[in-house]
Structure 1
Amino acid sequence: MFSSGPLPRVKIRRNSPSNRFGRVRSGGKRVHQGEDYQADIGTPILAVDDGVVAFIRNGGDYGLQICIKTVLTHNGNPVYAFYAHLSRVDVKACQQLKSGQPMGATGDTGNARGMRGEDCHLHFEVRTRASPGLGLGGRLDPRGFVRYG
């Protein structure tokens, strides 16, 4: 379990199963590689645990994104926390982080562009590799790590 939430308040967007992790889209035919948490644009994003910034990128469906390597492990593998659709990043690659430290803000970049109201969200993933590629490989269900509420 992470020692902090990725947002000040963590709530699944629209309480919809399709915003959860796994084979939850298109009748189980499409995967969702993380969870979508309702968050107004500009909501602070927080480091979920002590760690280091693995990378910061901007592009594709994720838009502006941060990946942090946390101090946690899972079955001997490092645990990474990945944040997407950001409007701003206030940290640098390789920067040391403390749990709960603000790192930037939510936004509407990537395939979240133009979303408003209850559709605004943070896409959040728990990974065992910084860049796992397509599908669910190298990803873990956030429900085993995230503090909701």
Structure 2
Amino acid sequence: MPRLFWGILALIVVGAAIFASMLRFDGPPAPAPEVARRVAAVPNAPPAPSSGERIRWRGGLLTVPVAGVARSAIASSWGDPRGGGTRLHRGNDILAPGGTPVLAAADGVVEKVFFSNGGGGNTLYVRSPDGRWSYYYAHLAGYAPGIAEGMRVRAGQPIATVGDTGNAGPGNTHLHFGLSAMAPGERWYQGRAVDPTPLLTGASLADPAARR
């Protein structure tokens, strides 16, 4: 009897172990917000509606950040595919000859002077006086004399020159201008990209062409 009992018990244990090995436990299904987050992280996923529709901008129009360029000459490149379709453009490219002065689009403080052989190349990040906005200037050929981190700049002040540094491509001289909404405590490389086109051209946010 004892042998029979232990034999049956051993068979039960072995059977339970085999059955358990056939199961795969992945945890509970991801809730809807998590699924949405994962989809949004896919590079080729459709972009969310322009942040410009959800923000309150009280600063009026930005100064055109390239000397001699008319507002009417600025075309939106927001949301255009880049890197062979692996990412979406989060800014506005303003074409101009190399060496053209780059102007501060608004008052602020130079938060970061940054250089990279790729990406934006020579760049400047300027934070608005209230800390809520970051203005991003990329592919610069160089900086205006005296430009340094912590320096205050005024709208229309020359701060750099147009170039083709970083991943712009040789001869493709232009300014990449970006605008980001900043939460308290966020640093220069953080923030939420916002389409700057309407604030450069004066086009209404209600115009679909201004929210490409």
1:50-89 paired onto structure 2 within 5 Å: 50-59=107-116, 60-71=118-129, 78-89=132-143
CA shift, 1:80, in A, is: 1.1
Number of equivalenced pairs: 131
Instruction: Tell me which of 72, 85, 92 is aligned to 2:148.
Output: 92
Instruction: Tell me which of 44, 57, 66 is aligned to 1:7.
Output: 66
Counterparts of 1:3 and 1:94, CA distance in 2: 21
SS in 2 for 1:125: strand
Match of 1:121?
174
TM-score, normalised by the number of residues in structure 1: 0.77
- CA offsets, 1:40-92, max 9 Å, x none? 100100011111101010003110000111246xxxx7111100000111211
- Residues 4 and 147, structure 1, Cα contact 8 Å, conserved in 2: no
Counterparts of 1:53 and 1:69, CA distance in 2: 6
Counterparts of 2:136 and 2:61, CA distance in 1: 13
Q: Which has the larger radius of gyration?
A: 2
Structure 2 residue identity aligned to 1:64: N
Instruction: Tell me which of 30, 33, 36 is aligned to 2:87.
Output: 30
Structure 2, unpaired ranges of 5+? 1-59, 183-187, 203-212
Structure 1, unpaired ranges of 5+? none
Root mean square deviation of aligned Cα: 2.4
Counterparts of 1:108 and 1:29, CA distance in 2: 21
Paired-residue identity, %:
31
TM-score, normalised by the number of residues in structure 2: 0.55
Higher relative contact order (CA 8 A, sep 6+): 1
Match of 2:100?
43
Higher helix share: 2
User: 1:49 and 1:31, CA in 2 relative to 1: closer, same or farther beyond 3 A?
Assistant: same
Counterparts of 2:194 and 2:174, CA distance in 1: 20
Counterparts of 1:62 and 1:46, CA distance in 2: 17
CA shift, 1:95, in A, is: 0.2
Counterparts of 1:82 and 1:67, CA distance in 2: 5
